[in-house]
Amino acid sequence: MKKLVWLLAAPFLSSPLLATDLLQVYREAQNNDATFAAAKSILEAGQERTPQARAGLLPTLSLGANTQWNQNDIYSRNNSNTTPANFNSNGYTLTLTQPLFRWQNWVAYDQSKFQVAQAEANFVQASQDLILRVAQAYFDVLYASESLKAVQANKKSIEQQLESAKRNFEVGTSTIVDAQEAQARFDLATAQEIAAESDLEVRQRTLQAIIGKEPGPLAPFRRGAEISPPQPADMKQWATAAEKDNISVQIQMAAVEIATREVGRQRAGHYPTVDLVANKGTSVALATVGGQLETDFQNVGVQLNLPIFQGGAVVSRQSEASANRAAAESTLEQARRNAALLARQQYLGATNGLAQVRALKAALISSQSSLESNRLGFEVGVRINIDVLNADNQVYVTRRDLAKAVVDTLMSQLRLKAAVGTLSEDDVARPRGYSAIAARITATVRSVAPRCAAAKRKAAARISASSPAFPNA
């Protein structure tokens, strides 16, 4: 069987004209989800790292000004006279400083590129997390709705059986036990209905917390939507791709590069600095005696600063940076292992889920046939009431489990794509009237290579790029 046609019960098979599909819900979440809004702000903040670091390579221009009152008394030892010398002085200084050699600033500028890449990768991860949260909440509402309808259908069927048992007891064709068994099943179905109603309310409130408003009717899945198994059908290939392209791995790769350059930046504390410094200014003194004294000055020169001893602070900071780099490398290795494990788990979830859906679909057909046979047997007297009740309950349980298996399989498909860094907005699109996510999942995954959003590609390129201009050891 090349493809598996999805089967959800009747309530899922037709879509209201005004129902909201998954793509629309995702759009609402993009605009209203607080976590995603915070991620966008964090991205904007992270993108400012490069301009800040670049400023350390550019000239600075500052203007200083002063005014002060000076009061002096001049004493003469020969005649013991005191001469007051009071005056007001004003001045300004314009200073231009151009770094000529500040190695730590160059390293910091190189480091900032990876900080921006890390911020972009973090945002991609937040985007993928939003897709998963929205899809999970959306599917949970659909499942809860289907589960409620299934239990209501089961309750109605049991009610009919209860009425039949009561009638048969009244005419003497059955015992009170049959009526009591049907009543017990009806009471249980009532309790299940209450629980299903509560669960649906909880699921709706969860979706509301993401999209920021009351969720309206949701578009159900349509008949004919198909789920394809993961391609390539090799769990090892997915795990290998995850070790390289998982967004958490990309983030940690950037963290290692940042930590490596931090070692070089701290080592630069031993190096001299050379700056070009130019000054221009005026100083004016207004004296009570002697009149006004005005001085204009301009100077330009090179300033050298050679650190000799700084109390061991530079060595200590360098050692700290080296330890942080080792920690980042270990965290990267753990991220790769976790990504590979996640890919394997979701691959198994997707493939086993497909098998489970296939089995439950066959089980639903069988249980429905069994129910009809037991009803017919009950009517002709070869089956008892409890047989019909058990068969009816089996249809309900199978129908509910099938809907849950379909939702779980879809989520495993999405999480598998997230594990290899390929989950994007395209996966919640709704082309040609298909149900949002199902339509995209139907398409065969042609390659495990990363095909993420532009921000992800940009971040990965930066992380993978080498920077030979600056020593990082």
What are 54-63's pLDDT values in tens digits? 999 999 999 9
Helices (H) and strands (E) in the chain, counts: 11, 6
Residue 8 is predicted with a pLDDT of: 34
CATH code for the domain of 176: 1.20.1600.10
Could you report the per-residue pLDDT of 121-180, keeping only the tens digit for each?
Answer: 999 999 999 999 999 999 999 999 989 998 998 899 888 888 888 888 888 777 788 888
Q: How far is CA 196 from CA 10, 75, 203, 397, in A?
A: 18, 101, 10, 13
Supply the range of the domain harboring residue 126.
Answer: 4-62+103-270+312-464
Q: 425 in a domain, yes or no?
A: yes
User: 162 in a domain, yes or no?
Assistant: yes
215 close to 25: Cβ distance less than 8 angstroms: yes
**What pLDDT does 216 receive?**
82
Q: In sequence order, what are the residues at sequence separation of 6 or more whose Cβ sits closer than 8 angstroms to the Cβ of residue 466?
A: none
Please answer whether residues 180 and 159 qualify as being in contact, where contact means their C-beta atoms are separated by less than 8 angstroms.
Answer: no
Reported as type and span, the H/E element at residue 461 is helix 454-464
Residues 146, 139: Cα–Cα separation, whole Å? 10
Residue 251 lies in a domain: yes
Count structural domains, the chain.
1
Domain assignment present for residue 81? The answer is no
Most confident among 340-344, 357-361, 453-457 (mean pLDDT): 340-344
Whether the predicted pLDDT of 440 surpasses 50: no
The verdict on residue 69 lying in a domain is: no
Could you tell me which of 164, 207, 170 has the C-alpha nearest to residue 185? 164
Structure tokens at 468: 């030979």
Give exposure, 323-333, as e/b (b: 16+ Cβ within 10 Å).
ebbeebeebbe
In a domain, 143, yes or no: yes
pLDDT tens digit sequence for 285-344: 765 555 677 888 899 999 999 999 989 999 999 999 999 999 999 999 999 999 999 999
Asked if residue 385 lies in contact with residue 165, where contact means CB atoms within 8 angstroms, the answer is yes
Residue 359 falls inside a structural domain: yes
Average pLDDT estimate for 13-36 = 78
Query: What are phi and psi for residue 84, nearest 5 degrees?
Result: -70, 140
| pTM of the entire predicted model | 0.79
> Residue 279: inside a domain, yes or no?
no
Q: How confident is the model at residue 207 (pLDDT cuts 50, 70, 90)?
A: very high
